[in-house]
Structure 1
C-alpha cells in the first residue's frame, strides 16, 4: 500500500523538522575560532584559537592584545572581541587561512594625535584608540576582495586605501570611504 502525505501534513513535518535542535555534529557554529596575525612593524607572528566551544580564551586574547599593541609606544590595550569576531567572519567569507598582515591595530592617544597631525587620513577620535579598528591586508587576497568582504558583512566601517595597500575595518557604525 502506497502512503502519500497531504500538503498540510508535509508542511507540518517540515515545520517540526525546523523546530528540532540540530545534533552537535551538525551545529552551524564551529567549535573553534582561530586567527593569525603578522605585525608588519614588529615582525611578531601569532596563530591561535581565541574562542573555543562557546568561550573566549583569556590567554589568547592577552596574546592578541600584545601583538596588536601600539608599535610606536608599546602601549597594550584590549582589542574588542567584536572586532576579532568580524575578522573571523572576513576570513571565512574569503575562504582563507592566511594570517592578517597588520599595519595598525591598537593606537594610543599619543600615537593617534601624532598621526592625525601629519595626515588628513587619520581621524582625531579614531576607533583604533578603543581597540575597535584594524588596518590589514591578507597575502594572496586582492585588496578589493578584502574590501568587498568587509562591506558585505556590514560589521562596521570599511576604509579602502589601495595606494597604501590596506583596508581599514572597525566595529563602529556601518560606513565606507576611500577608493
Structure 2
C-alpha cells in the first residue's frame, strides 16, 4: 500500500475516533515496518543492481588459426642459381616469388622460361617438413623446352616424349643431407603425383600428374 494512503488511512481512523491512541501508535509502527520492508506482509521489491557494476555483454569470436607462409629453397645445379623464397602467403601464391622461381627453373640450354606449376613447391615443402632437411633442393631438371626434351628422349629411352617437364609440372631433385630412399618414401607417402626413383643418376622425379610410381637408372 502506498505510504500516503497508509498515512491517510491511519489519520482518518484516529480522527473518526474509531481506534484508541495506543492502537493508532501501533498502526504507525506497523506502517513503518511495512515501509521498511520488515513486516511479514511487506511487498517484495527486487533490489536494483549497483550502479556501474552491471555485467557488460562480451562478444566472443572464434579464434582464427594462424596460417604460416610457405617457403621453398632450391638451387639449379647447372647455373648455380639459388633461391630461398616465400612463395605462398595470406592464402595465395606470391606473384614476385613465383616469377623468380620460374626463372631459376628455366631450360638452361636455351634460357626459355615457362610457368612452373606451384603445386610442385607444395610437394617440395612437404618433403622438407617431413625430412627436416636444412639444405636447398638441388634441381637437375625443371622446365624443359620441346627441343631439349626431344634431344634427351633421343639419347635415352627413359625420357618420355611427352614429359611433364615440358608443361612445367615436373622436377628432378635431390637433397645433400637426406638420402634418396627417404626422399622417395616421403614423396610416395604424399600421394600428390608421380614419383620416379633413379638411384644411379642420383635424383628423384616428382610431378603433379596422376599418382603413380616407377624406378629407373
Query: Would you say 1:56 and 2:93 are equivalent positions?
Result: yes
Q: Which runs of 5+ in 1 are unaligned?
A: 1-20
Instruction: Answer 1 or 2: higher relative contact order, Cα 8 Å, separation at least 6.
Output: 1
> 1:33-71 CA deviation, whole Å, 9 max, x = no partner?
000111100010100100112121100000000000001
In 1: Cα distance, 2:104 partner to 2:139 partner: 9
Q: Which TM-score applies when normalising by structure 1?
A: 0.83
Partner of 1:149: 186
SS of residue in 2 equivalent to 1:117:
helix
Deviates further, 62-71 or 48-57 = 48-57
Displacement of 1:97: 3.5
Between the two proteins, the alignment pairs up a number of residues equal to 156
Kept after mapping to 2: 8 A contact 1:31/1:54: no
Displacement of 1:22: 6.5
Question: Considering only aligned residues, what root-mean-square deviation do their CA atoms show, in Å?
Answer: 1.4
SS of residue in 2 equivalent to 1:75:
coil
Kept after mapping to 2: 8 A contact 1:156/1:169: yes
Task: Give the ranges of 4+ consecutive aligned residues of structure 1 lying more than 2 Å apart after TM superposition.
Answer: 21-24
Match for 2:170 among 117, 123, 133? 133
Displacement of 1:178: 0.6
Q: Which runs of 5+ in 2 are unaligned?
A: 1-60
- Counterparts in 2 of 1:128 and 1:22: CA distance versus 1, 3 Å: farther
Q: Which has the higher strand share?
A: 1
Match for 1:116 among 153, 156, 160? 153
In 1: Cα distance, 2:209 partner to 2:201 partner: 22
Partner of 1:23: 63
> 1:90-144 CA deviation, whole Å, 9 max, x = no partner?
1112122421000000000000000000001100000000010000001100000
> 1:128-167 CA deviation, whole Å, 9 max, x = no partner?
0001000000110000000001100011100000100000
Kept after mapping to 2: 8 A contact 1:157/1:174: yes
Find the structure with the greater CA-based Rg: 2
Kept after mapping to 1: 8 A contact 2:195/2:206: yes
